[in-house]
Structure 1
Amino acid sequence: MKIFTQYKGLKKENYILFLGRIVTNLGAMIWPMMTLILNKKLGLNAAETATFIIVSGIMFLPANLVGGHLADKYNKKRVIIYCDIVSIILFVISGLMPLSFYSLCVLLVGALFQTLEGPAYQALVAAITPAEKREKAFSLLYLGSNIGLIMSPTLAGFLFNDYLWLCFIISGLAISVSTVLIGLFVKNPESEDEVISSDGEKEENKEADKQNILKIIRASKSLILFIIAFSFYQGAYSQFGYLMPLDISKAYPENGSLIYGTVNSVNCIIVVLCTPLLTMLLEKMPLPKKYALGTLLQTISFGMFLLSFGVIAGYYVSITMFTLGEILTTVVIGAYLSERVPENYRGRIYGVTSFTSAFMSGVVQYVSGSLFDNIGTGPAWIFSIVMTMIAVVASFVLVKTDRKEFSDLYT
């Protein structure tokens, strides 16, 4: 069936990274529960929880930019492995410590190194994959991420009350398996660049060496529009791990963590079932149109969450719409940027977009957290809808602008 065979023809390294993502996310139990850890275990209210997350995010912001620079200047594989080793050690240590702000700080330092490697991971996928197969490669990587996440949020919900410390240690061990796979089976991507790059692309790279990433962005209306759409979309998307668990926990104080864990798992199941299908059905649709459609679906899903307070079935219907939008946007990002930015600047463009999205996530969480504490759930969701509408407008303008600016990609 084409739904499965569409992923044939990728390089061995693509399949190794796919397996690595599955294993890593099987152990990704902490992040879906971070809001509940701060709120239920450490007693922070919504605004205090947002402040903690925002302060942590501010610390992470430079890591996105530094990580992008490292990805472009040094061996991508080594950047990933070295950062993983530090993360593994710190995750395990944090699990062995009594739960407190100190143990969370140890965890966050480990997460900082995961953030640092993020641009290198994205650039690695682009570096080992021919241009015509990059959307499929990023789709496969995203699929692997969610196969691993199907069980981890629900398991975390069961461990949350009495065995939370195990989640920290399992996360570290899962990353170690992925690191071994990359270390043993992924070739040095820099040696592949010469094979993948065309002569025209090489000339473009030489010319780009005389520039910097901000000049490249300023010279492209499409990149500016994409970064605006991406930043506001990701800012609102962060409510999946912030406002959503607060909303569910407020409606169901006793078993909110378990309900939210199952909502997380439903999200992952839909991703696994629908990512190959949507990738195949919308193969011919231009990337900006897919992104615009994804942002629109997220806006609709937030309206549904607004109306679903205290209705469990409503949460599951809303997360279905949310996930369809997530699929369309996520599979586009890596392929879109890799086709519109010179090869030796890909790490930095991934770093810039990660920086802007992290900044907007902090803004959205702080404002929505204040609204949640002082006024209620409804205004917090309405604010989130407004943020997604900005992304919708920017992405729909991008559809026309991108076709005009990058017309050669549409022939």
Structure 2
Amino acid sequence: MRLFTQYKGLKKENYILFFGRIVTNLGAMIWPMMTMILNKKLGLSATQTATFIIVSGVIFLPANIWGGQIADRFNKKRVIICCDIISIVLFVISGLIPLSLFSICVLLVGAFFQTLEGPAYQALVADITPPDKREKAFSLLYLGSNIGLILSPTIAGILFNNYLWLCFVISGLSIMVSTVLIGLFVRDIGAPHKKKEIADDPHQGSILNIIAKSPALMIFIIALSFYQGAYSQFGYLMPLDISKAYPDNGSVIYGTVTSVNCIIVVLFTPVITMLLECVSLTRKYALGTILQAVSFAAFLVSFGFIPGYYISIALFTLGEILTTIVIGTYLSKKVPAQFRGRIYGVTSFASALMTGIVELGSGKLFDVLGSAYAWGFSVAMTLIAVIASIILISVDRRENVKYQEV
């Protein structure tokens, strides 16, 4: 029973955002299949696919920084709604026109506005939630995201061959439902928490000054960027690997692997959140990066072995749960309220940049040397995140003692 009662006491807005995420991700059918769309439907090689994704990512980079600045300057709820409206229109249009690089570009413009709203969404969750409830709030939001994703990848895999256009349209309509829920039931109520937290926080200055004054925050951003860069292989290298092993039904296999990922998240997120409640955020994050490194090593030796894919995704998902419930909580703890949008923007920027580097490197290795070398490269990138995460534990502890003595 405590698995569910641990989420009691949150604000109404937290539960609305939870249901909104369920609906949005129930229709999120394009992104898990993007690599296969570019590779199988449009005929791009692994390197060309990586190049296309990287170029798109470079275009998205300013959205992370701008989104952070906009979130800290304007009403976060209005930012989310305005960006959502534009995304909805473009997603639906991209599904109604013939599939081509042009239609994918229309979709990506819509995704640009989803990226632009990202820092506002994260900051809104932190603003509406008291500090002692934030880990639960981010855990609940993550749980909702994956409840919605349980079915969508499998459905997308089934629709992939003959009804792909429906995936685009459904994605837009699902965002519309979430937008209506936010518009009607969510208030931007961060102000009551902001005054107290700003007064108590020893950091002052711009977001860069805040990062420079906190070695722990700098190390966390490094660990996060390498972790997220390697994490992107879930949607890039993994489908390439499975499609190469199973050319005819790779999309269906990958869809089920993705659904297993979401099922494990739904079943184990409340358990892990409860059992590790007293474990420090930095220790949980380090354990999560270690599990990701182990899972990538398992993918390396699982080519063409379907049970190996499911074992690997189980390890990957347990690591994902640990890191995801930590990120938003840790950043909101280390940064004053008036800078939350910008710190989410900075970390998103660094993660997107590293994602491009990892995907380009693994894409070239996949085309030239094969999937084993590409996975080996991914393991190496994750190990950098593991090392940084382990260092973070002691640095963060010393930094906390220092501020307690001030």
With structure 2 as the length reference, what TM-score do the two structures score?
A: 0.98
What amino acid is the match of 2:315? Answer: M
Displacement of 1:188: 2.5
CA contact (8 A) 2:288 2:320 kept: yes
Distance of 1:63 and 1:302 partners within structure 2: 30
Match of 1:151 in 2: 151
What amino acid is the match of 1:11? Answer: K
Q: Mind listing any 5+ residue stretches in structure 2 that lack a counterpart?
A: none
2:352 to 358, 363, 370: 358
Displacement of 1:204: 5.0
Helix, strand or coil for the counterpart of 2:43?
coil
Distance of 2:279 and 2:402 partners within structure 1: 15
Distance of 1:355 and 1:123 partners within structure 2: 16
User: Does residue 202 in structure 1 map to residue 212 in structure 2?
Assistant: no
Count of matched residue positions in the alignment of Structure 1 and Structure 2: 405
Match of 1:138 in 2: 138
Distance of 1:171 and 1:377 partners within structure 2: 31
Match of 2:381 in 1: 387
What amino acid is the match of 1:118? Answer: G
**Residue-by-residue CA offset, 1:223-253 (whole Å, 9 max, x unaligned):** 0100000000000000000000000000000
What amino acid is the match of 2:379? Answer: I
Residue identity over aligned pairs, in percent, reads 71
CA contact (8 A) 2:241 2:371 kept: yes
**Residue-by-residue CA offset, 1:373-405 (whole Å, 9 max, x unaligned):** 000011000000000000000000000110110
CA contact (8 A) 1:205 1:343 kept: no
CA contact (8 A) 2:194 2:338 kept: no
Distance of 1:95 and 1:253 partners within structure 2: 25
User: Does residue 279 in structure 1 map to residue 273 in structure 2?
Assistant: yes
Alignment of 1:3-402 (within 5 A): 3-189=3-189, 192-194=190-192, 196-197=193-194, 199=196, 201-203=197-199, 208=204, 211-402=205-396
Distance of 1:138 and 1:207 partners within structure 2: 24
1:391–1:410 CA distance, 2 compared to 1 (3 A): farther
Displacement of 1:297: 0.2
Displacement of 1:207: 6.7
Helix, strand or coil for the counterpart of 2:227?
helix
**Residue-by-residue CA offset, 1:244-300 (whole Å, 9 max, x unaligned):** 000000000000000000000000000000000000000000000000000000000
Helix, strand or coil for the counterpart of 2:390?
helix
Distance of 2:277 and 2:202 partners within structure 1: 32
Displacement of 1:77: 0.3
**Residue-by-residue CA offset, 1:182-212 (whole Å, 9 max, x unaligned):** 00000123xx422x2463x23257973xx21
CA RMSD of aligned residues (A): 1.4
With structure 1 as the length reference, what TM-score do the two structures score?
A: 0.97
CA contact (8 A) 2:203 2:336 kept: no
Distance of 1:198 and 1:168 partners within structure 2: 42
Helix, strand or coil for the counterpart of 1:187?
coil
Helix, strand or coil for the counterpart of 2:295?
helix
Distance of 1:33 and 1:75 partners within structure 2: 33
What amino acid is the match of 2:81? Answer: I
2:400 to 389, 402, 406: 406
Displacement of 1:407: 3.1
Distance of 1:206 and 1:116 partners within structure 2: 29
Displacement of 1:147: 0.1
Q: Mind listing any 5+ residue stretches in structure 1 that lack a counterpart?
A: none
Displaced runs of 4+ in structure 1, greater than 6 A?
A: 408-411
**Residue-by-residue CA offset, 1:320-377 (whole Å, 9 max, x unaligned):** 0000000000000000000110100000000000000000000000000000000001
1:179–1:206 CA distance, 2 compared to 1 (3 A): farther
CA contact (8 A) 2:203 2:210 kept: no
CA contact (8 A) 1:90 1:107 kept: yes
Helix, strand or coil for the counterpart of 2:341?
helix
1:206–1:321 CA distance, 2 compared to 1 (3 A): closer
Distance of 1:39 and 1:202 partners within structure 2: 49
Distance of 1:340 and 1:366 partners within structure 2: 32
Displacement of 1:406: 1.8
1:406–1:205 CA distance, 2 compared to 1 (3 A): closer
CA contact (8 A) 1:234 1:361 kept: yes
Helix, strand or coil for the counterpart of 2:247?
coil
1:409–1:165 CA distance, 2 compared to 1 (3 A): farther
Distance of 2:200 and 2:28 partners within structure 1: 39
CA contact (8 A) 1:67 1:347 kept: yes
CA contact (8 A) 1:205 1:344 kept: no
